[in-house]
Amino acid sequence: MYRFSNTVIGVINLLSLLASIPIKGTALWKARSSKTCENFLQTPLLVIGFIILLVSLAGFIGACFNVAWALWVYLVVMIFLIATLMGLTLFGLVVTSQGGGVEVPGRVYKEYRLGDYHPWLRERVRDQEYWNSIRSCILTSKTCSKIESWTTLDYFQRDMTSVQSGCCKPPTACTYETGVIVGGEDCYRWNNGIETLCYECDACKAGVLEEIRLDWRKLSVVNILVLVLLITVYAAGCCAFHNTHHAAHPYHPSDDNRMTKVRPRWDYYWWRWWHEKKEQLY
């Protein structure tokens, strides 16, 4: 049992140690590959990857080299990591529970409303400084240039991403005839200028939030799988800590009490015989 549990925890933590490297690499890559350059998910990934690196290193050393204090640190940090990851996962599920697109009659794509999303997400995109960085990134990614050549028929037959639907065109309900604009506030914010378009529209902010919502939902699924793995590793770590501690302290005073329940001490039968004789005399 000693070798089995310690070998298992050592191998698992070695794999976790190696896995922390691509986790951090994924966080850096995600910031560059995102359509909106939204990077607030990048920081948690970097932090989680760094913590897994340190925790796995401590668990690997403790399990393979019988270092009890390293396993103790490993178990303490691991329980905080599990609690933190569980809290972030629950928070992500709550925040992303609202939102989603609205069907547009006669169109393949959907349109998005800012009011449909969680207040915490809405407050982030309403911060002008924060929104300016996202807007600059959308311009750099040339997301809207991909649909510049679309014909009227394409708008009826082809699908769009949530960012293209909200930022690259006015809402479908808007009408522009003889200088009269009919529709909501976003209809007035729309401009044909390539630097303007509908980047200040609520529909554009909602489209960005939809991208974030989908990414966060995927991350929540990964977090759940990681939680299952961490809880399994934690249970194995507890066994390894017990074995390592027992190997460092093979004798404990309480061991005598536990052993007497199975095999009495040498003086037990003598004590019993003496008391039986004493009762017979008196």
- Alpha-carbon span 86 to 234, nearest angstrom: 14
Say if residue 199 is in the same domain as residue 121.
Answer: yes
Whole-number pLDDT of residue 159:
93
Which of 182, 210, 238 is at the close of a domain? 210
Q: pTM (2 decimals)? A: 0.73
**Neighbour count for residue 27 (Cβ, 10 Å):** 20
Q: How does residue 74 score in pLDDT terms, banded at 50, 70 and 90?
A: confident
**Comparing C-alpha atoms, which of 183, 164, 185, 180 is closest to residue 172?**
183
Which of 162, 181, 210 is at the close of a domain? 210
Q: How does residue 168 score in pLDDT terms, banded at 50, 70 and 90?
A: very high
Whole-number pLDDT of residue 259:
45
Does pLDDT of 271 surpass 70? no
Say if residue 17 is in the same domain as residue 92.
Answer: yes
Looking at the 3D structure of the chain, how many domains does it have? 2
Say if residue 113 is in the same domain as residue 93.
Answer: no
Say if residue 4 is in the same domain as residue 94.
Answer: yes
Whole-number pLDDT of residue 108:
93
Whole-number pLDDT of residue 248:
47
Does residue 198 belong to any structural domain of this protein? Answer: yes
Q: Whole-angstrom distance between the N-terminal and C-terminal Cα of the chain?
A: 53
Whole-number pLDDT of residue 181:
82
**Neighbour count for residue 191 (Cβ, 10 Å):** 13
Does residue 103 belong to any structural domain of this protein? Answer: no
Say if residue 72 is in the same domain as residue 117.
Answer: no
Say if residue 61 is in the same domain as residue 119.
Answer: no
Does residue 281 belong to any structural domain of this protein? Answer: no
Say if residue 93 is in the same domain as residue 231.
Answer: yes
Say if residue 239 is in the same domain as residue 175.
Answer: no
Among 52-56, 78-82, 167-171, 278-282, top mean pLDDT goes to 167-171
Whole-number pLDDT of residue 252:
47
- The more confidently predicted of residues 195 and 5 is 195
Largest CA distance in the chain: 125
Percent of the chain with pLDDT over 70: 64
Say if residue 39 is in the same domain as residue 85.
Answer: yes
**Contact between 48 and 16 (Cβ < 8 Å):** no
Count how many Cα atoms sit within 13 Å of the Cα of residue 82 in the half-sphere of its side chain. 15
Does residue 264 belong to any structural domain of this protein? Answer: no
Say if residue 47 is in the same domain as residue 89.
Answer: yes
- Number of H helices and number of E strands within the chain? 11, 4
**Comparing C-alpha atoms, which of 40, 24, 43, 136 is closest to residue 95?**
40
Do the bridges between strand 175-177 and strand 180-182 make them parallel or antiparallel, or are there none, so unpaired? antiparallel
Say if residue 75 is in the same domain as residue 45.
Answer: yes
Q: What is the mean pLDDT of the chain?
A: 76
Does residue 137 belong to any structural domain of this protein? Answer: yes
Which of 161, 184, 210 is at the close of a domain? 210
Does residue 117 belong to any structural domain of this protein? Answer: yes
Does residue 263 belong to any structural domain of this protein? Answer: no
Range in 36-50, 51-65, 107-121, 188-202 the model is least confident about: 36-50
Does pLDDT of 56 surpass 90? no
Q: How does residue 164 score in pLDDT terms, banded at 50, 70 and 90?
A: very high
Say if residue 87 is in the same domain as residue 54.
Answer: yes
Does pLDDT of 253 surpass 60? no
What is the average per-residue pLDDT within 38-44? 65
**Contact between 174 and 181 (Cβ < 8 Å):** yes
Identify the domain containing residue 28 by its residue range: 1-98+227-247
